[in-house]
Chains A and B, each alone.
Chain A
Amino acid sequence: MLLTRAYEDRAQELWSKGLVVESLHGSQGQEAIGVGVCYGLRPDDVIIPSLRTRAAFLVRGVSVRQFLSGMLGKATGAAKGKATAHHMGSKDAGILLGSALVGSSIPVAAGAALAFKMRDEDRVSVCFFGDGATERGDFHEGLNLAGVMKLPAVFVIENNLYAEFTPISKHFAGTSLAARAEGYGFPGVTVDGNDVLAVYDAMSEAVARARAGEGPTLLECMTYRQRGHSSSHPPTEGRDPAEVESWLKRDPILLFKAELAHRGLLGGGALALIDASVAEEIEDAVRFAVDSPLPDPAELYRDVYAPAETSEAAR
């Protein structure tokens, strides 16, 4: 969580200086979801992050160097400089490509789960998305399919109460997003998305169900977007400062630190050590990304189709 937070804050600074060239959708305040969920998974499971699940990339092992390079549009970044970092895929890290179309990943995640089920593998497919994505038809179609086919999938809603500038109350007339799962024939669970241990526990249960062939779970994680929709928007655009203030008090990092202190696990300057190693990793990545080359223009024409040799072989 600390690494993700430090990453987000530093990326925002680099954006202001014009070094980060992709639009940033800050995840400050939502780190516990990506962390809690991904710690509940095995390396051979797959995930599709939302536009804001930064923590998931780092927990699953995408290097800060590569991730940041992507945001600078460098050849060492996502898809060799061809794609934005926040939707990048990584085969090694078990991260399926996200979509810049909010909600379009949901049926894709169901499809990954379908492949696991057909091959009788006990792997799980996880899709992260914001509350806004539940307004898409793809949410309904993806969850319904997963329910009917009892697919090993977990659908994680990062309910941060806003979609761009609009509060959820203007987009959803019901009272609980998790409750929708009932209509698809599988459990829907609401958890405190700022409590990393609560997320982990709920996820572990959902994963156990999926591995046991009992089908999907819809996990609604309640959280708050501490920043504006993207780097170009002021942090509290269109929001009540008192609301923002109350959520800052429930910051997931603060909560977890308090919990660790309560359990007596923060002795021996542990936090200072973590902070120092986080700072070092981030600064190393900044140097790496800044020094990395821009993509070769010829890169544009690669990876549009399979390389000629492979297509020949297929014939």
Chain B
Amino acid sequence: MTTIAYREAVQRALREEMRRDPAVFLFGEDVAEAGGVFKATKGLLEEFGPTRVFDTPISESAIVGAAVGAAMMGMRPVVEVMFADFTTIAMDAIVNSAAKARFLSGGEFSAPMVVRMSYGAGARWGAQHTQSVEAWLMNVPGLTIVMPSTPYDVVGLLKSAIRSPDPVVVLENKQLYGKKEDVPDEEFFVPIGKAAVRRPGQDVTIVATGYMVDRALSAADALAAGGHSAEVIDARSVLPLDVETIVGSVTRTGRLVVVHEAPVFGGFGAEVAAAVGAQAFGYLAAPIERLGGAWSPIPFGQVLIDEYLPSEQDIVQAAQRAISA
């Protein structure tokens, strides 16, 4: 076992996959010489050299668009969109080119590529550098989207993403880059589409993504102190969604709270709630609780950010409402 930070987990996954497969390469803005603004790609230029790890101009559409072309020609590009908010610029390449390459060529072409991006509020970067974009992308057939919340999952999911035959978006949470964990030294993978039960419990199921998993776990501690046992599920993949694990949990607890950073309306929680409503309706003992960012652009300034994001207290209260319903 070795203790590594979330950002080092990104480096490790890339290093292992680049050593294994010469077709894997990395590019984006300031990913090479500077090692990324969050230092998540530090050291890779030194090991793999400037033909496989390089910096690009400030051209998000060209970065992702070029990845699509290279992927269709047999390469395995990993590109970085520095802040997930900038996907708006690369949206055409992701949605219209990458996600549809296989379908529109009847399977002759495909775009096996990874688009990594940092997302999430918490730090004071303002409305255009802190959004959670999973719901913008969840409505696109052909895409896969993962949101690792631990260093272990970053390694395992990023490696799986790189080996995926189709395009995968990896959403890395900015608040988590410094988070540390012991991970095995031998190679391991985390399968895409499998949720993780982070804490077993009987009274209520809390499904969370990314940084909200940590808040859900603290909320579960607080609930335990009050005599309630919460099961915390980390969705890990939002597309495809592990409905089986979530529904299985709710059939035991009868109560569901979903929490994410993006606004509730049209958010990931809606899909979870709909799946549970469709498959575990008879088991529900309380209305489903959905928590997410406020219906507002993400503010600058801590007071307003605290108001914006679901807090541990918000999760505890939602769980208590469900339990006492």
A residues with CB within 8 A of B: 21-23, 73-74, 81-84, 87, 99-104, 132-133, 135-138, 163-166, 170-172, 238, 294-295, 297, 299-301, 304
Nearest first, the 5 closest Cβ-Cβ pairs linking A and B are A73-B301, A135-B57, A100-B128, A297-B307, A84-B126
* Residues A164 and B300 in contact, CB atoms below 8 Å apart: no
Main secondary structure of the interface of A (DSSP, over half): loop
- A161–B28 alpha-carbon span in the complex (Å): 19
* Residues B295 and A101 in contact, CB atoms below 8 Å apart: no
- Which of B55, B59, B62, B299 makes the CB contact (< 8 A) with A170? B55
Contacts of A81 in B (CB 8 A): 299-301, 303-304
- A133–B57 alpha-carbon span in the complex (Å): 9
- Which of A73, A84, A163, A294 makes the CB contact (< 8 A) with B58? A163
* Residues B301 and A21 in contact, CB atoms below 8 Å apart: yes
Are A101 and B301 also in contact (CB < 8 A) when A164-B30, A165-B33 are? no
* Residues A82 and B301 in contact, CB atoms below 8 Å apart: yes
- A73–B125 alpha-carbon span in the complex (Å): 11
B302 proximal to A (CB < 8 A): yes
Q: Which of B273-325 contact A (CB under 8 A)?
A: 294-297, 299-304, 306-308
* Chain B count of residues within 8 A CB distance of the other chain: 35
* Residues B300 and A294 in contact, CB atoms below 8 Å apart: no
* Residues A22 and B34 in contact, CB atoms below 8 Å apart: no
Contacts of A102 in B (CB 8 A): 58
Contacts of A172 in B (CB 8 A): 57
Contacts of A163 in B (CB 8 A): 57-58
Sample of 12 A–B contacts (CB below 8 Å): A21-B301, A22-B126, A73-B303, A82-B300, A82-B304, A84-B300, A101-B86, A135-B57, A135-B59, A138-B89, A300-B294, A301-B296
Are A164 and B304 also in contact (CB < 8 A) when A22-B126, A82-B299, A101-B86 are? no
- A284–B129 alpha-carbon span in the complex (Å): 31
A114 to chain B, nearest CB (A): 22
* Residues B304 and A295 in contact, CB atoms below 8 Å apart: yes
Are A299 and B57 also in contact (CB < 8 A) when A22-B124, A164-B30 are? no
Contacts of B73 in A (CB 8 A): none
Write the chain A residue with the least CB distance to B29: A164
Contacts of B308 in A (CB 8 A): 300
Are A304 and B296 also in contact (CB < 8 A) when A21-B301, A166-B33 are? yes
Contacts of B125 in A (CB 8 A): 23, 84, 100
Main secondary structure of the interface of B (DSSP, over half): loop
- A165–B35 alpha-carbon span in the complex (Å): 10
Contacts of A297 in B (CB 8 A): 303-304, 306-307
* Residues A295 and B29 in contact, CB atoms below 8 Å apart: no
* Residues A165 and B303 in contact, CB atoms below 8 Å apart: no
- A103–B307 alpha-carbon span in the complex (Å): 30
A201 to chain B, nearest CB (A): 30
- Which of A135, A295, A301 makes the CB contact (< 8 A) with B294? A301
B187 to chain A, nearest CB (A): 32
Contacts of A74 in B (CB 8 A): 301
- A165–B39 alpha-carbon span in the complex (Å): 13
- A307–B300 alpha-carbon span in the complex (Å): 21
Write the chain A residue with the least CB distance to B123: A23
Most chain A CB neighbours (cut-off 10 Å) among B37, B88, B300, B302:
B300
A181 to chain B, nearest CB (A): 19
Contacts of B37 in A (CB 8 A): 164
- A100–B131 alpha-carbon span in the complex (Å): 13
Write the chain A residue with the least CB distance to B299: A82
- Which of B29, B60, B304, B306 makes the CB contact (< 8 A) with A299? B304
Write the chain B residue with the least CB distance to A98: B128
B122 to chain A, nearest CB (A): 13
Q: Which of B59-93 contact A (CB under 8 A)?
A: 59-62, 85-86, 88-89
Contacts of A21 in B (CB 8 A): 124, 301-302
Contacts of A99 in B (CB 8 A): 128
* Residues B126 and A83 in contact, CB atoms below 8 Å apart: yes
- A290–B159 alpha-carbon span in the complex (Å): 48
* Residues B89 and A136 in contact, CB atoms below 8 Å apart: yes
A82 to chain B, nearest CB (A): 5
- A170–B55 alpha-carbon span in the complex (Å): 8
- Which of B58, B126, B302 makes the CB contact (< 8 A) with A136? B58
- B2-40 CB contact bits vs A (8 Å, 1 = yes)? 000000000000000000000000000110011001000
A30 to chain B, nearest CB (A): 18
* Residues A132 and B58 in contact, CB atoms below 8 Å apart: yes
Contacts of B104 in A (CB 8 A): none
Are A304 and B30 also in contact (CB < 8 A) when A83-B127, A132-B58, A297-B303 are? no
A244 to chain B, nearest CB (A): 18
- A304–B294 alpha-carbon span in the complex (Å): 11
Most chain A CB neighbours (cut-off 10 Å) among B57, B294, B297:
B57
Contacts of B128 in A (CB 8 A): 99-101
* Residues A295 and B301 in contact, CB atoms below 8 Å apart: yes
A179 to chain B, nearest CB (A): 17
Are A294 and B301 also in contact (CB < 8 A) when A22-B126, A301-B296, A304-B296 are? yes
- A172–B129 alpha-carbon span in the complex (Å): 25
Contacts of A138 in B (CB 8 A): 89
Given known contacts A73-B124, A135-B57, A238-B34, what 17 new A-B pairs fall within 8 Å (CB)? A21-B302, A81-B304, A82-B304, A83-B300, A100-B126, A101-B88, A102-B58, A133-B58, A136-B60, A136-B89, A137-B62, A163-B58, A171-B58, A295-B301, A299-B299, A300-B296, A300-B307
